[in-house]
A and B are shown apart, each in its own frame.
Chain A
Amino acid sequence: MAEHVDDAVVGSSVARLEDPDLLRGAACFVDDLDCPEMLHAAVLRSPFAHARLEPLDVSAARALPGVVAVFTHQDLGPRRRPIPIRLCPDEALNDYLQYPLAADRVRYVGEPLALVVAQSRALAEDALGEIELDPEPLPACTDALGAPPAALFEQTPDNLAALSEQSFGDVATAFAGADHVVRSRFDSARHSAVPMETRGLLARYDTSERRLHIWGSSKVTHFNRGVLADLLGWPEARIHLAQTEIGGGFGVRGEFYPEDFLVPFAALTLGRPVKWIEDRMEHLMATNHSRQQHYELELALHADGRLLGLRARITNDMGAYLRTHGTIVPGLSAGMLPGPYRLDSYHCEARSVLTNKTPTGTYRAPGRFECNAARERLMDLAAAQLGMDRIELRRLNLLRPDEMPHARGTHILGEQVVYDSGDYPAALERALELSDWQGRASRAAGGDGRRRRGLGLACFVEKTGKGPFEGARVRLHTDGTVTIATGAASVGQGLQTCLAQIAAQVLGVAPGAVTVRHGDTDLIAYGVGTFASRATVMAGNAVHQAAIELRRGLLEYAATRLDVAAPRLALKNGAVQIDGAAGISLAGLLADAARGKSASPPPTEVEHCFRLDRMTYSYGVTVAEVEVDTRTGEVTPQQVWIACDIGRVINPRMVAGQIEGGAAQGIGGALLEAFHYDDEGQLLSGSFQEYLLPTSGEVPPIAFELLDGMPSALNPLGVKGVGEIGVAGMGGALANAVAAAVGDPERSGTALPLTPERVWQRIDQGRRNDEVTA
């Protein structure tokens, strides 16, 4: 199915077209936009985790000079509607949706209670302090595992919003006949993506157009337009969402949040432009959290090490409401937990538990950072208990190329998991070579006793390229330049460069001659957006097909115009070549038509909608080496290596950026980051003083290798997604490396992040155990 593509442009490290503006400070972010008459909004956020609330007294706030309006839940009138689920909606979950403003009950610290609109942000913040709250406190639920002290929703006394099961094979028989059963527990802390640019919106109602314009959305603009139309009760055609430059997304930015209703609502109601820029304190309590999962695992093995069955119970702390991702994150964990291994039987129970904390959603490799770490720790544990080498255990159980495609027997995002292609054992061998595993393992045995080295690895599969469709329109201008419009969005990953390369390749123009427009509901009728490592797969193939169609039309036109048989023509260097020699420039070809000298105009525009009903699966192996200071528990990553297969590569340098950035985020999740709450549900990690992101000082050298020559068979370009590769295996590799360094590979419980105090306690515990046995 894969069409031959000349790799001159596709596959080369074209300098990012986005970068000149970004580097010169010329890029326009949402906060760079200002309008005449513009007002500024601030959100009153609940200081209580769980309370009943009397209607707010906002009279003093409204009376402050400079304050234009204060909106509460009551002021929304008929527009008091909850925000719907975007991915895998389910009516059974509708009880747990969040309203843009809380009515008479708050369920987490940070929940929006009112919107103040004023002449400046500072004045709006002054007014926040003047709003009277009259709470009746309720017990806060902060632990998804224990018996809840209160119900968040009366109809659900156990706070269990959803319980789903996935299974294949006969688990009971597998465990009954197993030679070994290995048990473990795993915990991941609460994280968020923390993009460099926080969320922000500018909404302006244009009276002459009678249209509402909104800037600052990203990721899924078309979907969000529909939600906004429904919530506002306002025609979709009179809403325009446009993307600006964006400082990172990583899953959290661009979903429909309460503010995505409130700011346009205020602009429409007041008839004046309203801007809201999320500050970092808000961001850490208001934007989706993710990853707080608890695993209880049981693995049945044959005496020779073959995996027979896996039983899992996953508890996902969902926070106070179900947001646009519904319960897909625990679903992704349950569907991807079996990973790259041959497994006869599986049963997983995934529990979605509500707590009085910030609601959750997806964060880069959602559900897989966690499940890959849980599984890979379990594999090391199994190897230790069986007395097997941990590499041998994996070699024995990895699915082989002759088992592809492999129907996993699980499902995610509403579709069956079918690994489409790959050579998983090759990825393992390449990772071992790349990292010099054997050499390092023998050297690590030494050490001065105070500082110990440890190696760890994690094998993983990544789902990418979620459908169902994405559209792209490719347009050739009379000067020979090209514009692409797509419904996919930039999240800073290099979408423009990637799509420009694909079009440039097919049309024989320079990538710099291609302009990519995106994330704008006026550009194209339909768009699905950018998430689930889908943009290159879906929009990339849409551009590719549209460009091929356009090329065919242009060559047919040129054949007639030049009176040369079409097969002798090709598009190259911005010209139509005849038999490989210079013919006529594209601009020249189109110029006559533009001046009405041609009987019929050449085709200049093709729109193609690329459809795909199955995801394509990337995979890889992450290796990490750490040094642990046994006196302090400090973990210092030494180096990270990743071998992976991402199908055809469009731009190697951008792939490196994706892998390295993801790896850095994975290191943060594994070693540093955690949101903490106290028993009253107060967020204790509300600033960067408490929520510790990795800086360049914490990120070691990252090396990677792409397994080549294995394009995906599921799409003509042969691409697979790469955006989540770097992060997917990092938790497991680092956790295994620390266990190896600390010398407690049989330890059955692991909690991320591996803070120095936790590691020191493990070392101290081991020391005490040694003293007892000695």
Chain B
Amino acid sequence: MKPAAFDYTAARSVEQALAVLVEYGDEAKVIAGGQTLGPMLNMRVVTPALLVDVNGIEALQGPRRSDSGLSLGAMTRQADLEDDPGLAIAQPLVAAAIPHIAHRAIRNRGTVGGSLVHADPAAEWGALVHALDAELVIAAAGGTRVVTPEDFFLGILTTAVEPQELLVEVRLPDWPKEAGWSFREFSRRHGDFALAGVACRLTLDGQRRCVAAGLGLIGVGDTPLRAREAEAVLVGETAGPELFQAAAETAASAVDPMTDLHASPDYRRHLTRVLVADALAQAADRASAVAPE
């Protein structure tokens, strides 16, 4: 388990990284935290001619507050978010999800951008960006473009980021203060990829009617999914177990999960039903009423 030989370059700026990527195209591979790419190199699943290390690019580091929300540089380490005392207030759903990402040792190195670009359909960030209506900023030599999560994830381990492009930023809109949240996943062991999981954002009005909802699902398709049909079931209706069960049924019946050693499609669908219903109930408990407009 030793990697095939490769060249290595440490980019100092986004421009420098993009220039190298343009030159090498799909012969190059960007390395961020290396928590997935490292093993893939060792197993020779990937054999790039060149590794472009973006760890040293200042512009990609860390979270930053902006006018409209929280901007996460692609190199933001999971542990930096975990250790941010303000995160539970600023982005409670993110704070709830981070401890589910693998183990602390992996979170110390693993990055938000690296996880998203790898696009494992069971990775927690896939559910988060859907549920939060995040925007993903992709840089190319000619400029940047902003895509939605639904346009970002194209297929199994495939995203809209082209070989000569770089994911540079994830923009999370300001958390709606009254919204409730829940992150739920089911895995064989603590820290494993989820067999199914859900990130849930829910806003209720004074009559406990659902005003807005964001539901991101993981582990139940080729990509992380937005459960739009289930959100439609919720919005305008009064929160309660029956509504949540109906939304969970809708979410579960809309997914077409894969089969693997750990779970069949039926079981993953069943877990989705259980997790979505539980997540909605928890989010509703946490939501504070918004005055009707």
Contacts and interface: CB of A to CB of B under 8 A. Distances in A.
| Binding partners A and B | yes
B101 to A, nearest CB: 15
A756 B192 CA distance: 14
B194 to A, nearest CB: 12
Contacts of B271: 632
Nearest to A122: B2
Contact of A692 (B188, B263, B264): B188
A695 B2 contact: no
A279 B44 CA distance: 13
Interface string B185-226: 010111111000000000000000000000000000000000
Interface string B249-293: 000000000000111100100110010000000000000000000
Contact of A672 (B188, B263, B270): B188
Given A684-B261, A697-B190, A760 B270 contact: yes
Given A121-B2, A685-B261, A695 B190 contact: yes
Contact of B264 (A672, A674, A757): A757
Contact of A631 (B3, B5, B274): B274
Given A632-B271, A676-B261, A281 B190 contact: no
Contacts of A634: 186
Contact of A698 (B5, B43, B189, B264): B189
B4 interface: yes
Contacts of A122: 2-5
Given A125-B44, A281-B43, A692 B1 contact: no
Interface string A249-293: 000000000000000000000000000000111100000000000
Nearest to B103: A695
A245 interface: no
A690 interface: yes
B241 to A, nearest CB: 13
Interface in B3-42: 3-5
A364 to B, nearest CB: 21
A486 B3 CA distance: 41
Nearest to A684: B261
Interface string B125-149: 0000000000000000000000000
A634 B44 CA distance: 35
Nearest to B1: A279
Contacts of B189: 672, 692, 694-695, 697-698
A126 interface: yes
Contacts of B4: 122, 125-126
Interface string A110-126: 00000000001110011
B158 to A, nearest CB: 19
Contacts of B188: 672, 692, 755-756
A282 B267 CA distance: 31
Contacts of A689: 193
User: Which range holds the interface residue count of chain B?
Assistant: 20 to 34
Nearest to A278: B1
A129 B191 CA distance: 34
Nearest to B2: A122
Contacts of B263: 757
B38 to A, nearest CB: 13
Contacts of B264: 757
Given A125-B2, A631-B274, A685-B261, A760 B267 contact: yes
A632 B188 CA distance: 11
Given A122-B3, A126-B4, A281-B43, A690 B261 contact: yes
Contacts of B274: 631-632
A690 B267 CA distance: 17
A125 B41 CA distance: 13
Contacts of B193: 689
Nearest to B274: A631
Contacts of B270: 760
Contacts of A672: 188-189
Contacts of B262: 690, 755, 757
Nearest to B267: A757
Interface in A689-733: 689-690, 692, 694-695, 697-698
Nearest to B190: A697
Contacts of A760: 267, 270
Q: For A676, A697, A756, which residue has the most chain B Cβ atoms within 10 angstroms? A: A756
A756 B263 CA distance: 9
A646 to B, nearest CB: 31
Contact of B186 (A120, A280, A281, A632): A632
A120 B4 CA distance: 12
Contacts of A692: 188-189, 192
Nearest to B47: A129
Nearest to B43: A281
A281 B43 CA distance: 8
Given A125-B44, A281-B43, A632-B271, A697 B2 contact: no
Interface in A741-755: 755
Nearest to A674: B261
A280 B1 contact: yes
Nearest to A40: B2
B220 to A, nearest CB: 14
Contact of B1 (A281, A632, A674): A281
A698 B191 CA distance: 11
Contacts of A121: 2
B51 to A, nearest CB: 15
Nearest to B268: A757
A42 to B, nearest CB: 9
A300 B112 CA distance: 62
Contacts of B2: 120-122, 125
Interface in B139-196: 186, 188-193
Nearest to A696: B190
A632 B262 CA distance: 13
Given A121-B2, A694-B189, A698-B189, 5 more contacts: A125-B4, A125-B44, A129-B44, A672-B188, A698-B190
The 7 closest A-B pairs by CB, nearest first: A122-B2, A279-B1, A697-B190, A757-B267, A631-B274, A121-B2, A676-B261
10 contacts: A122-B2, A125-B4, A129-B44, A279-B1, A672-B188, A684-B261, A692-B189, A697-B190, A756-B188, A760-B270
Interface of B: 1-5, 43-44, 186, 188-193, 261-264, 267, 270-271, 274
